[in-house]
Structure 1
Amino acid sequence: MKILSNPEWIKQYEYPFRNLDQVPLHLFDSINSRLDERISTKPLVSIIVIAYNEEINILRAISTLSSLTTDIPFEIVAINNNSTDKTQETIEKLHVKRFFQPIQGWGPARQLGQEMAIGKYILLADADCLYPPNWLDEMMKKLQQPDVVCVYGRYSFIALPEIPRWQFLVYETLKDVIAEFRHYKRPYLNSYGISMGYIREAGLRAGYIQTNLRGDEGRLCFDMMQYGRVVQMRTRSARVWTAPRTLLRDGTLWQCLKIRIHRELNRALSYLTPHPPHDTKKSFN
């Protein structure tokens, strides 16, 4: 079953390189050729990719974005968030808009990105993720609906030799069920920069936090809810794919699952009511 294996399309982006010096010039030429065909000088959508020490991962991410299948004009805005590796050199070799944000943090990086973007709509992407060809179109189908200000998508984990796909599927199924539960009163808790979109004007009004604190995109979503609805993009073929390196920081997959279940059970009742209005720029997670 396809659902029990990594999708075929990600195989072409499994580059064996460990650092920028190993990347052949012809790979950049190939990616840039696709970018030149797709990038618009009058974009409707600006895709913001932020990166901190992702000299190879951002190459993969932008390579997938260069293969988007869409008629919607878009641009890619890459933000180097004060990296100490060769992320800047990688970005400079790619035909995308690029900026440097010396203030450390996801919020400051994305704030600079939306300020430099020129599209009416913003899509957020992470440098360590792979984006399917229909991702942009599926996100925009939702974002362009009446009264919608923000959309978020779903994501899956790439199987490892030692961890088969079915095990990640168990975790993802639980994660998706929780997301459905949270969506009714607290959709901002499901809004991650891995796959999220919004109207740029609303994003500029709300603004990102300017500290190095996780949850910047959820806080932005919370503040934008005064301008419209938040919706989900559930299309399975448009799920974003990422390595499980962050997930596995807590131990084995089953240990992570146990921690997640315990945490969500403790929070379950809180999901039945929305957060009261508060200053997201000063609150803690």
Structure 2
Amino acid sequence: MISVIVPTYNEEESIASCLESLCNQTIPRGAYEIIVVDGNSKDRTREIAAKYADQVFVQTSKKVGGARNDGAVAAKGEIVATTDADCYLPPDWLEGIERTFADHPDAVQVYGLVFPKEKGIKNTVSLWLANFFSRLGYLTHTIYYTLGCNTAFRRDAFMAIGMYHTIDAGDDLEIARRARKAGKVVLVPALKVGFSMRRYEQFGTLKSLWEWVYIVVKGGESEKYSYSKREYK
């Protein structure tokens, strides 16, 4: 079984479409479970999520990484996949994850690329560049640019390496470094997820990237910028 973990916070506008895409996968619905871990939303996120998910509960650990960890603890599956509440998951997403782990018995982590949900040349170019650096880092064995919206782990290995560190940004890069010590980390270019560009459209691409880099350089923690629990229009 695959356990899909979706962290949420005030996502009533996005969560239904995300979970609908998860419920329409090419593998049987009984072959996977959906776990929504909520950051104590003030809107109808949990109410809406309950219509689709197998488990919906309020997180007890801190930050987005902590929500994913809480979900993994509650998971029943041998594989734990993570995505975000504003993403679109193509119908063959879980099938691709399942097949990759079967083809790579030594893999402990699998990840893919992203494409923009919102139209526009700026969004297309931005994610083309992100995917380019992801491929480059993988091929050169330097930075494994895994994304929390499109990654999966063997659950036993995920628990053994200590799960996600609960930091503000860069936790998906950091965990890949530890995962590589436990086994193989595999990039699958065909494993793509629809990624929402709303952060960049509302707060600006350069500003958002600068905040992310600043926090990562500071070790994942920063009092100057907050990268999680953003309010979107």
Partner of 1:78: 36
- 2:197 pairs, out of 244, 247, 250, with 244
Partner of 1:159: 118
Of 98-107 and 207-216, the range deviating more from structure 2: 207-216
Larger Cα Rg: Structure 1 or Structure 2?
1
User: Structure 1 counterpart of 2:129, which letter?
Assistant: L
User: Structure 2 counterpart of 1:224, which letter?
Assistant: A
Paired residues for 1:141-180 under 5 Å: 141-144=99-102, 145-160=104-119, 164=120, 166-180=121-135
Partner of 2:227: none
Separation of aligned partners in 2, 1:178 and 1:225? 18
Unaligned runs of 5+ in 1: 1-43, 265-282
Alpha-carbon offset, residue 104 of structure 1: 3.7
Separation of aligned partners in 1, 2:53 and 2:59? 19
User: Deviations 1:52-73 (Å, cap 9, x if unpaired)?
Assistant: 1112311111110010111581
Partner of 1:106: 64
Q: Between Structure 1 and Structure 2, which shows a larger proportion of strand residues?
A: 2
Percent identity of paired positions between Structure 1 and Structure 2: 26
User: Deviations 1:97-150 (Å, cap 9, x if unpaired)?
Assistant: 122114440111011100000110011111110101011111222223131110
Separation of aligned partners in 2, 1:150 and 1:143? 8
With over 3 angstroms needed to count, the CA separation of the structure-2 counterparts of 1:194 and 1:95, relative to structure 1, is: closer
Separation of aligned partners in 2, 1:169 and 1:95? 31
Partner of 2:21: 64
Partner of 2:86: 128
Alpha-carbon offset, residue 87 of structure 1: 1.4
Whether contact under 8 Å (1:104, 1:211) holds in the other structure is yes
User: Structure 1 counterpart of 2:181, which letter?
Assistant: Q
User: Structure 1 counterpart of 2:84, which letter?
Assistant: D
Pairwise CA RMSD of aligned residues? 2.6
With over 3 angstroms needed to count, the CA separation of the structure-2 counterparts of 1:120 and 1:156, relative to structure 1, is: same
Q: Between Structure 1 and Structure 2, which shows a larger proportion of helix residues?
A: 1
DSSP-derived class of the 2:198 partner = coil
Separation of aligned partners in 1, 2:116 and 2:207? 13
2:158 is aligned with 1:203: yes
User: Deviations 1:211-249 (Å, cap 9, x if unpaired)?
Assistant: 3522223322222222111111111xx421122112235
User: Deviations 1:187-214 (Å, cap 9, x if unpaired)?
Assistant: 43x1111100110001111223563522
Paired residues for 1:1-285 under 5 Å: 44-71=1-28, 73-144=31-102, 145-160=104-119, 164=120, 166-183=121-138, 184-188=140-144, 190-209=145-164, 211-235=166-190, 238-249=191-202, 251=204, 284-285=219-220
DSSP-derived class of the 2:82 partner = strand
User: Structure 2 counterpart of 1:195, which letter?
Assistant: N
User: Structure 1 counterpart of 2:26, which letter?
Assistant: T
Separation of aligned partners in 2, 1:61 and 1:112? 20
Separation of aligned partners in 2, 1:85 and 1:247? 23
Separation of aligned partners in 1, 2:182 and 2:62? 29
With over 3 angstroms needed to count, the CA separation of the structure-2 counterparts of 1:51 and 1:243, relative to structure 1, is: same
